[in-house]
């Protein structure tokens, strides 16, 4: 596939700082209408990659193409950015804040629609310093959407939110996607990536370890289920079967057929009282690829 098939593409991106290659050769492409996720632990190079794609940082090497062409002045009008920490003006209400950002653009979205989309109606007159974490993120997303962009960048949009606010934000992202907006998101929450992203790239030490559809990546690396037992549940004099591995204080069995695996465990005399049966997840994949957990 040529790069013009992508709304935005990175070719061999690198960013070097003294003593560190923050990004060390990243190539990826995001199709129109997709939600693409960059995943990785703290310091992996996600934000630096995103900032080069946003045109904010200049790459040390490589290039970014938007609709097959190098970034130009028009690019800024076509994108929206939700930064990790956008400074909202003090003593400003939600309504004033939105209007101020809208005034920065020649063409802006219908603000009433945006207020409805991001559920800001009830908090329009609230001082922006008095917002909850979830309300603040909804306002920041509305600001990112204020110029009706084709592509929106979201840098760890749900970090620090409680689980309910995080789920509400995911539902909001669904509504944004349903309008056809393309999204590029960074996160270190695996569940978030599985829930939101059509395609992901797992980044570590400035490089992409693996890229593809979450379900396809999981299917390619794991059988149907993972059975997890505390190590103490396994008889001390029994050796582990070939499909089992020790992880910290647990034993994991990778299996296609759960009933057959349960019989196998019983034959070995394992205690099933604390048995957990999980569908393999991106978290498992990350652990398998890197040897460490993504939750830094």
Q: How many CA atoms lie within 13 A of 199 on its CB side?
A: 15
Give the separation between CA 199 and CA 295, rounded to whole angstroms.
Answer: 20
Q: Which among 36-44, 71-79, 243-251, 258-266 is the span making contact with ligand ATP, rule CB under 6 A?
A: 36-44
C-alpha dihedral sign at 174, 184, 7, 28: negative
Structure tokens given for 294: 């993504």
Would you call 282 exposed, middle or buried from its count of C-beta atoms within 10 A (0-12, 13-18, 19+)? buried
Q: Point out which span in 35-43, 59-67, 128-136, 273-281 binds ligand ATP (CB under 6 A).
A: 35-43
What is the C-alpha separation between 32 and 244, in angstroms, rounded? 41
Answer yes or no whether residue 44 interacts with ligand ATP by CB under 6 A: yes
Q: Which of residues 186-215 bind ligand ATP (CB under 6 A)?
A: 188
Q: How far is the CB of 105 from ligand ATP (least distance, A)?
A: 27
Per rule CB under 6 A, is residue 48 in the interface with ligand ATP?
A: yes
Could you tell me the CA-to-CA distances from 159 to 83, 236, 264 in Å, in that order?
A: 12, 42, 41
**Residue 37 or residue 45: which is nearer to ligand ATP going by CB?**
45
Our finding on whether 45 is near ligand ATP (CB under 6 A) is: yes
Task: Write out the binding residues for ligand ATP, residues 81-120 only, by CB under 6 A.
Answer: none
Minimum distance from CB of 166 to ligand ATP (Å)?
16
**Of 16, 20, 25, 78, which lies in the binding site for ligand ATP, with binding defined by CB under 6 A?**
20
Residue ranges in 103-182 assigned as alpha helix (H):
111-117, 133-144, 163-178
| 75, burial (CB in 10 Å: exposed 0-12, middle 13-18, buried 19+) | middle
Using the rule CB under 6 A, is 46 a contact of ligand ATP?
Answer: yes
Contact with ligand ATP (CB under 6 A) among 40, 134, 149, 157: 40
Q: What residues line the site for ligand ATP (CB under 6 A)? A: 17, 20, 22, 40, 42-48, 188
């Amino acid at each position: 596939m040529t790069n013009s098939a992508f709304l935005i593409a990175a070719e061999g991106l690198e960013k070097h700082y003294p003593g560190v290659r923050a990004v060390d050769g990243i190539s990826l492409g995001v199709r129109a209408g997709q939600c693409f996720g960059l995943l990785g632990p703290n310091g992996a190079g996600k934000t630096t990659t995103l900032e080069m794609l946003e045109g904010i940082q200049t790459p040390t090497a490589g290039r970014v193409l938007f609709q097959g062409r190098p970034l130009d002045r028009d690019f800024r009008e076509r994108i929206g950015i939700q930064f990790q920490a956008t400074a909202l003006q003090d003593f400003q209400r939600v309504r004033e804040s939105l209007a101020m950002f809208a005034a920065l653009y020649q063409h802006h979205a219908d603000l009433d629609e945006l207020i409805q989309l991001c559920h800001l109606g009830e908090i329009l007159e609230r001082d922006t310093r008095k917002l909850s974490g979830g309300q603040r993120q909804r306002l920041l997303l509305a600001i990112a959407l204020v110029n009706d962009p084709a592509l929106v960048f979201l840098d760890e949009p749900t970090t620090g939110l409680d689980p309910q606010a995080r789920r509400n934000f995911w539902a909001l992202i669904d509504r944004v996607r349903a309008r056809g907006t393309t999204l590029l998101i960074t996160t270190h929450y695996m569940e978030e990536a599985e829930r939101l992203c059509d395609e992901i790239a797992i980044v570590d030490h400035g490089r992409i370890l693996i890229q593809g559809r979450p379900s396809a990546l999981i299917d390619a690396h794991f059988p149907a289920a993972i059975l997890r037992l505390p190590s103490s549940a396994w008889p001390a004099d029994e050796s582990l079967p070939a499909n089992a591995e020790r992880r910290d204080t647990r034993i994991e069995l990778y299996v296609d057929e759960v009933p057959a695996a349960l019989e196998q465990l019983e034959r070995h005399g394992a205690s099933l009282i604390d048995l957990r049966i999980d569908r393999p997840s991106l978290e498992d994949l990350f652990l398998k690829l890197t040897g460490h957990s993504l939750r830094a």
